[in-house]
Structure 1
Amino acid sequence: MLVDQIILTGIMLALVVCLFGTRLNPAWLFVSAIGISYLTGLIELESMLVNYANPSLITLVLLILVSIAIEKTTLVQKLASTLASGSLSKSVMKLGLSTAFLSSFTNNTAVVASLISTIKESQTHSPSKLLLPLSYTAILGGTLTLIGTSTNLIVNGFAVDAGMAPLGFFDFTLVGIGALLVGLLTILLLLKFLPDHGTESEEVVPFYLEGKVAFGSKLIGRTVEENGLRDLKDLFLAEIIRGERRICAVTPQQEIRQGDVLLFVGDIKSVPLLRQFDGLQVVHDKHEKDAEHLVEVVVSQSSKYIGKTIKEIRFREQFHAAVIAIRRGHDRLQGGLGKVKLQAGDSLILAPSSDFYELPDLKREFVYISGLDLQTHLTQKQSNHVLLGFAAVIGLGIFDIVPLVKGLMVLLLALVALGTIKVNEMKRRFPIELLAIVGSAIGLAKLMIDTGLASKLSDALFLLLGDFGPYGAFIAIFVMTVVFTELITNNAAAALSFPVAYALAVGFGVDPLPFIMAVAFGASASFISPFGYQTNLMVYSAGNYRIRDYVTVGVPLSIIYSITVLTLIPLVFPF
C-alpha cells in the first residue's frame, strides 16, 4: 500500500504541475495520468474503463446533446427579444434571470452562444455592458440544480463512487438561489465599471493585422520612418517577420525589405490607410481583395479548429475568405497571423468571397457572424414539443418515476428520429474532452481514496487546520477549489479537490456533504479570468474586454459569492 501511495503521489504531482505549469490539453493530461496508473498496476483495466460509464457522466453527455434542440426553440428567441426594451439595469435584470433559468436546466455554453449574436447586434445597449453579465449569470444559474453545470453532476458522480447517497435534483437550489440573487445585485451595482464601447468613440479596438511587402514596392530599401509607417493613426507597427526571424520593438531606423510581413496592432477601420502604401498587401489574394466589405466572426467553442493555426487549417481554402485581422480581447499576439492558434472567443476579420455565405459549416465554427443569423430555428409547434418533452423527462426524474439517464436517452432518440437533431450535429457537439477528463478524474479520485493517499493528505491538512475545526477546514477546501478553477478548469478543479474534501470530512468525523457542496460551488466560482470558464472566454473578444474588466467586476463578485455560499451551505447542510 505504501508503494502504491508513492507511485500515485508521483502521478498526481506530475498532473498538477502540468495542469498549472503548461498549456497541454487537460483531457490528455488526465487520460495520461489514469493510463500510467493502469500501466503501473494501480488499477485494473475493467475498473478504469467503468469510470467512463459513470451514470452522472452519461447524464451530462446526454444533457449536452439534448441541449442542441433546446437552443433552437423559440424560447431562446423570445428571451433575446426582451433585451430591446427598458433601461440598462432592467435589461440586465431580465437577461440575468432568464439566462440563469435556462442555464439551470441546460448547457450554459449553449445559452451564451445562442445570445451573443443578438446582443452584439443590439441597437439599444452597448454589447460590452451585457455580455459579461450574460456569462456571469449563466455561471450562477448553473448552480441552481443538479444538472445546471457539469461540475455538479461530476461531484455527484464522485460522491456516489465514494459510497455517499446520490445528490437530489434540488439539493443545490436553496444555496444557488441565494448566490444568484446576491450575485445579480452585485453585477447591477458594478455595471458602471464595465466599458461602454457604444459611446466611447475614442476606444481603439486592438485588432492584430498584417501587410506583406510585395515585389517592386516603393517601401523597399527605406526605413520605417522614411515610409511614414511610424505615426499611423490608430495603428502601431509591432513586429516585422523576415523569413524565420521576428523583429520586435521595431525602431524608426529599421529598413524595410522585399517579402517582409509587417504586423500592426490597432483599429480595423484603419485597413484602408494601409492599402495606400505602394506594394503593401493587406489581403494576399486578388480574388478576395475585391470583396466589398469585411466580416467579423467569433470562433465557436464547438469549432474543430481550436488549437490549430490558420495556416494549418488552410483557412482561405476551407472558408473562401482571407483572415486579415485577429483579436483576442486586448492580448498582444505574437508572430504572423498564420501562426496564431485559434481559441474559442477569438474575433476574426475576414475578407470573404461570395461563396463564403453558402458554406454549410459556418454555424459550427462561428458563434457570431456580423450580419448573419446563425441559429437554426424550430417552428412554434416543434419548439413546444421539444420543451414539453424535456420538462416531462425532468419531472419524471425528479419524482423518481423514470431515471433521468433513461428519460434523456429516450428523448434524444426521439429528437434524432424526428430530425430535430441531426447526427452530424451530435458528432461535432459530442463532448469527448469532457468525457475524457471526468472519466479519468473519477478513477483518480477513487484511487486516492482506496490507496489511502487522500487520508494521508487530510492528516497533513488536519495538522494545519485542526485548531480551526470543521468550519475552518470547510472554508479552506472552498478557497482551494476557487483558486484551482480560476487557474485551470472547473472540472479539473473539482477532480483535484474532491478526494481531499471527502477525506478531511471523514478525518473530522462530520458529514461529508457540506464539504462536497463546497467543492461544487467553489468549482463554479470562475469570475476573475476570461480563461477559467468557457462562457467567460466566449464573451472576451466579443465584448472587446480587457483582463482588468474581469478583475474589476469579478473580484467583488467572487468575494460576495464566496461569503454568501460559505454562510448558506452550513445552514442548509449542517456539519
Structure 2
Amino acid sequence: MTFEIIFTLILIAGMITALIYDLMRPGMVLFSVVILFLCAGILSPKELLEGFSNKGMITVAMLFLVSEGIRQTGAISQLIKKLLPEKKTTVTKSQLRMLPAIAGISAFLNNTPVVVIFAPIIKRWANKVNLPATRFLIPLSYATILGGLCTLIGTSTNLVVHGMILETGRSGFSMFELGKVGIFIAIAGITYILCFSNKLLPAKRPDVVNEEEEETPAEELHRVEAVIGPRFPGIKKTVKEFGFERHYGATVKEIKRSGQSISKNLDNEIFREGDTLVLMANENFIPTWGESSVFLMLANGKEHEEDEKQRKKRWLALTLLIIMIIGATIGELPSMKNIIPGVQLDMFFFVSITTIIMAWTKLFPPKKYTKYISWDILITIACAFAISKAMENSGFADLLASKIISMADSLGPHALLAIIFIITNLFTEVITNNAAAALAFPIALSVATQLNVNPTPFFVVICMAASASFSTPIGYQTNLIVQGIGNYKFTDFVRFGLPLNFITFILSVFLVPLFWEF
C-alpha cells in the first residue's frame, strides 16, 4: 500500500473512533480530518472548499429556515392535535391515525422540529387518555425517519448524496425519485410498528418527579422538561459544578437518561448531551430559552393560544411550502427546462425563494435567522464532500472496492449492493448519518466503476441505509430526543429497531435493482 492509502486508513479509523466516543462535535472531528488531508497533499485547497459551496449543503441550510417558519406558525402542531383521538381508544388505532400523517409531514420538513413539536403533545395526550406514552414516542421518531426516505428533501443525507452525484457530473435525484423504494419501506415500516409496538415496546414508565407533588403555586413554579442539546455549556460538568439554577433560574429535580430516572444526589451527576431534565421553573423560562440552541426541546405541558394573525401566518407558511414542493417537482420535467433560459427550476431555486419570502413576511424572525441553522450539521456535510474526495484521490476507495468485489465476486452486483448497505448502516448507527454517506459514497462509486455497471442503484442504497438508524438512540437526533422524554433504555431501541433495520435492508436490496438497472 502507498503512503496515501495508509495515511487515509489511519485518519478514517481515527475519525470513526472520535465520533463514537464523542470526543468533539462531529463537524469539528471531520474538519480536523480534512485539514490533515490538506497538510498531507491528498486534498488541494480548492477540493477542501468545494463542499462549502455545494448546492446540496446550502439547500439543507435553507430547509432549516423553511422548517422553522412552519414550526413558528404552529401549522404542524395544529395538525397533530386534530389527529389525536379525544375519546377512549387503543394504541393501534391511534397509531394508525397519526403515523402515516407524521411520515408524510417529515417527507418535506426537517425531522427534528417535527419530533420536538409532536413529542410533548403526544406524551400529554397519552397521559390524558390513559395510554402508555412509551408506545408512541419511538414510533414517532421512526415514522419521521421512514417519511424522510421518500423524497429528496426528506433528510439531509439524501441531499448530501444528491450533491455528491452532481459533483461527479451525473444527474442527481428528482424530488420523488427515491420514493420509488422509500414508499414501500415506509409502508412496511409503519405496518411493522402497528403490529409489534404493543409487544416489543415497554409499558408506561412513570416519572420519578410527580408533577402534582412538585408544583408550588405560591411561587408560580411549574414542571418543565428540557432535552440537552450539543451547545449546552454544562456538558461533562456536574450539576453542582455548573450551577444550573444560577445560569437559567430553574431547579433540576430529575435527570432521565437511558431509561433511568435520577432524582437523588443530583449535585454529583454529570450533564450529557441528550439528557432530559425535569425542572421547576417560572413562566419566563420557556419564552427566554425556547429559541436557544442549548436545548433541543422544551415542554411545560401547556397549550398556547393563537390569534387571527397567527392563523394567517400559518396558512401563508403552508401555501409557500406547497408551492415550493410543486414548483421543484414540475421544474424538473424536461418540458419545463427551457421555459426560463439560464435558470434551473430545481429544489435549490424554489427553496431559496421560499426562504426569502418567509424572512420578509417574518414567518421566522429574520434578525435571528442564524439561530435556526444547525451549523455543525452543515460543517459535517461540507467536510463530508472533502473526505469523500480524499478517499478517491488517495486510492483508498479503489482498494476497498477491490476487496469488496473479490469477497462477492461470484455473487454479482446484488451481493455488492447488500454489502454497501450493511457497511453504510453500521456506520450510521455509531456515527452521524451524513458521515456514513460520505464514507460509503466513494466506495460505492469505485465498485460500480470497476464492475462497469450503473452506480445509481448503489447511491440509492446509501440513501436508504444511511437514514435507517433504528437500532440505537445515538445514530439519529430524533431517537435521542424521544429516549429522554419517553424514559427508554438503550435496549428498547435494539429490540424494537433491529427488525426494522432488517426490513429496510431486505426491501432495499430487492427493490432498488427493479427501478434502477445495473
TM range (shorter): 0.7 to 0.9
Work out the number of aligned pairs and report it: 494
Q: Compared with structure 1, are the counterparts of its residues 160 and 335 closer, same or farther at alpha carbon in structure 2 (3 Å cutoff)?
A: farther
Residue of structure 2 in register with 1:174 after alignment = 180
Q: Which has the larger radius of gyration?
A: 1
* Distance (whole Å) between structure 2 residues aligned to residue 465 and residue 498 of structure 1: 19
Asked if the contact 1:69–1:386 (Cα under 8 Å) also holds between the matched residues in 2, the reply is yes
* Distance (whole Å) between structure 1 residues aligned to residue 412 and residue 482 of structure 2: 41
1:559 offset after TM fit, Å? 1.5
1:184 offset after TM fit, Å? 0.6
Asked if the contact 2:235–2:270 (Cα under 8 Å) also holds between the matched residues in 1, the reply is no
* Distance (whole Å) between structure 1 residues aligned to residue 241 and residue 102 of structure 2: 36
1:133 offset after TM fit, Å? 0.7
Query: Which sections of structure 1, spanning at least 5 residues, go unmatched?
Result: 198-202, 206-266, 273-281, 283-287
Residue of structure 1 in register with 2:84 after alignment = 83
Asked if the contact 2:428–2:466 (Cα under 8 Å) also holds between the matched residues in 1, the reply is yes
Which residues in structure 2 correspond to 1:494-573 (within 5 Å)?
494-573=437-516
**Per-residue deviation, residues 127-183 of structure 1 (Å, max 9, x unmatched):** 211111110100000000011011111111121223322111111012111001111
* Distance (whole Å) between structure 2 residues aligned to residue 47 and residue 137 of structure 1: 37
Residue of structure 1 in register with 2:227 after alignment = 299
Residue of structure 2 in register with 1:225 after alignment = none
* Distance (whole Å) between structure 2 residues aligned to residue 269 and residue 413 of structure 1: 45
Query: Which sections of structure 2, spanning at least 5 residues, go unmatched?
Result: 337-344
TM-score norm. by structure 2 comes to 0.88
Q: 2:392 aligns with which of 449, 453, 459?
A: 449
* Distance (whole Å) between structure 2 residues aligned to residue 517 and residue 396 of structure 1: 23
Is it true that 1:318 corresponds to 2:274 in the alignment? no
Q: Cα RMSD between the aligned structures?
A: 2.9
TM-score norm. by structure 1 comes to 0.79
Which residues in structure 2 correspond to 1:418-497 (within 5 Å)?
418-423=361-366, 425-497=368-440
Which stretch has the larger CA shift, 333-342 or 443-452? 333-342
Residue of structure 1 in register with 2:113 after alignment = 110
Asked if the contact 2:105–2:147 (Cα under 8 Å) also holds between the matched residues in 1, the reply is yes
Residue of structure 1 in register with 2:339 after alignment = none
Q: Greater helix share, 1 or 2? A: 2
Which residues in structure 2 correspond to 1:246-395 (within 5 Å)?
267-269=208-210, 291=219, 295-299=223-227, 301=229, 304-305=232-233, 307=235, 309=237, 310=239, 314-331=243-260, 337=267, 340-344=270-274, 346-352=275-281, 354=282, 356-357=284-285, 359-364=287-292, 365=295, 367-373=297-303, 379-395=310-326
* Distance (whole Å) between structure 2 residues aligned to residue 441 and residue 37 of structure 1: 12
Which residues in structure 2 correspond to 1:115-130 (within 5 Å)?
115-122=118-125, 123-124=128-129, 125-130=131-136
Which stretch has the larger CA shift, 315-324 or 536-545? 315-324
Asked if the contact 2:151–2:177 (Cα under 8 Å) also holds between the matched residues in 1, the reply is yes
Helix, strand or coil: the match of 2:24? coil
Q: Which amino acid counterpart does residue 104 of structure 1 have in structure 2?
A: A
Q: Compared with structure 1, are the counterparts of its residues 366 and 57 closer, same or farther at alpha carbon in structure 2 (3 Å cutoff)?
A: closer
1:503 offset after TM fit, Å? 0.8
Is it true that 1:159 corresponds to 2:162 in the alignment? no
Q: Compared with structure 1, are the counterparts of its residues 68 and 303 closer, same or farther at alpha carbon in structure 2 (3 Å cutoff)?
A: farther
Residue of structure 1 in register with 2:104 after alignment = 101
* Identity %, equivalent residues: 27
Is it true that 1:185 corresponds to 2:191 in the alignment? yes
Is it true that 1:399 corresponds to 2:330 in the alignment? yes
* Distance (whole Å) between structure 2 residues aligned to residue 25 and residue 91 of structure 1: 37
* Distance (whole Å) between structure 1 residues aligned to residue 319 and residue 272 of structure 2: 38
**Per-residue deviation, residues 242-270 of structure 1 (Å, max 9, x unmatched):** xxxxxxxxxxxxxxxxxxxxxxxxx3359
Residue of structure 2 in register with 1:67 after alignment = 67
1:319 offset after TM fit, Å? 2.0
**Per-residue deviation, residues 176-195 of structure 1 (Å, max 9, x unmatched):** 11001111110011121222
Q: Compared with structure 1, are the counterparts of its residues 325 and 138 closer, same or farther at alpha carbon in structure 2 (3 Å cutoff)?
A: same
1:55 offset after TM fit, Å? 0.3
Q: Compared with structure 1, are the counterparts of its residues 187 and 142 closer, same or farther at alpha carbon in structure 2 (3 Å cutoff)?
A: same
Structure with bigger RCO (C-alpha 8 Å, 6+ apart): 2
Q: Which amino acid counterpart does residue 209 of structure 2 have in structure 1?
A: I
**Per-residue deviation, residues 365-408 of structure 1 (Å, max 9, x unmatched):** 36232333479887232222111122212222222252322322
Helix, strand or coil: the match of 1:326? strand
Q: Compared with structure 1, are the counterparts of its residues 374 and 366 closer, same or farther at alpha carbon in structure 2 (3 Å cutoff)?
A: farther
* Distance (whole Å) between structure 1 residues aligned to residue 396 and residue 330 of structure 2: 38
1:360 offset after TM fit, Å? 1.9
1:115 offset after TM fit, Å? 0.7
Is it true that 1:10 corresponds to 2:10 in the alignment? yes
* Distance (whole Å) between structure 1 residues aligned to residue 303 and residue 91 of structure 2: 24
* Distance (whole Å) between structure 2 residues aligned to residue 457 and residue 66 of structure 1: 39
Helix, strand or coil: the match of 1:325? strand
* Distance (whole Å) between structure 2 residues aligned to residue 395 and residue 539 of structure 1: 32
Asked if the contact 1:70–1:387 (Cα under 8 Å) also holds between the matched residues in 2, the reply is yes
**Per-residue deviation, residues 63-116 of structure 1 (Å, max 9, x unmatched):** 111100112343431222211245322211221111111110110111111111
